[in-house]
Structure 1
Amino acid sequence: MIGMDAAQQRKLVGLIGLGVRGRGAIIGVQQVREAARRGKLHLAIAAPDASSNSLEKVLPLLHARGITVVAGPSAVELGSAAGREATAVIGIVDKGLAKGIRALSLGPMPDTRRDGEELG
């Protein structure tokens, strides 16, 4: 799982909220498993404090399918972002949203230009 610092997690919570409202994110272990099986899932966010039983139901499938899993905030914070009390995992089904979260979790891309070299 890819981890984040506190500022990144705040941004992540905002993106999750947008994704849930825009139907680009799905909530809960069962829905995430179903989306992964159907090939609709682009990324998953797991609460590190979720029950091991919940995580054992979903993480092996996600890893087997090669789906990136980001370590998100607590289950309560993750649930709050999704309008729930708590949730173990949120799946991202919107490709653009997944790309944004992936970029956030990996940080800015390094500048590979040589000194004095211009863009374009």
Structure 2
Amino acid sequence: MLRLVGLGLRGGLVVVGVDRVREAVRRGKLVLAIVAPDAAQNSLNKVVPLLDARGVPRVTGPGAAALGGAVGRESTAVVGIMDRDLANGIREIVESKFGGTH
């Protein structure tokens, strides 16, 4: 999954961080969010209600450090996927490993 996220970032199909994810959701561009299970509650409070209100599915990904490492940061609470095919590939991996999306 992390490799797909990294490839998507290089292809301009991924946004990183709470503010960029919120912006992409508001513009109707986000098709999937990956949320770090160890993200700060404040970060989750800023993004999860918006994802839910707009009907954007989310999956629980790896920890913030691993998720950040995939996108060239020390850590990140959330990553947004803007491409449906990439999102489907990530969802398949998550469902096979962890059993589903939110």
Q: Structure 1 residue 44 and structure 2 residue 44: aligned?
A: no
Q: Paired residues, what number?
A: 97
Q: Structure 1 residue 66 and structure 2 residue 55: aligned?
A: yes
State the SS of the aligned residue for 2:89: helix
Give the letter for the 1:88 counterpart: A
- Give the fraction of aligned pairs with identical amino acids, expressed as a percent: 58
Q: Structure 1 residue 31 and structure 2 residue 6: aligned?
A: no
Give the letter for the 1:49 counterpart: D
The structure with the larger Rg is 1
State the SS of the aligned residue for 2:62: coil
Higher helix share: 2
Q: 5+ unaligned residues in a row in structure 1: which ranges?
A: 1-11, 108-120
Give the letter for the 1:50 counterpart: A
Runs of 4+ in 1 over 4 A off after TM superposition: none
Report the CA distance between 1:103 and its aligned residue. 1.8
Q: Structure 1 residue 54 and structure 2 residue 57: aligned?
A: no
Report the CA distance between 1:21 and its aligned residue. 1.0
Q: TM-score, normalised by structure 2?
A: 0.90
Q: Structure 1 residue 99 and structure 2 residue 91: aligned?
A: no
Q: Distance in 2 between matches of 1:24 and 1:83?
A: 15
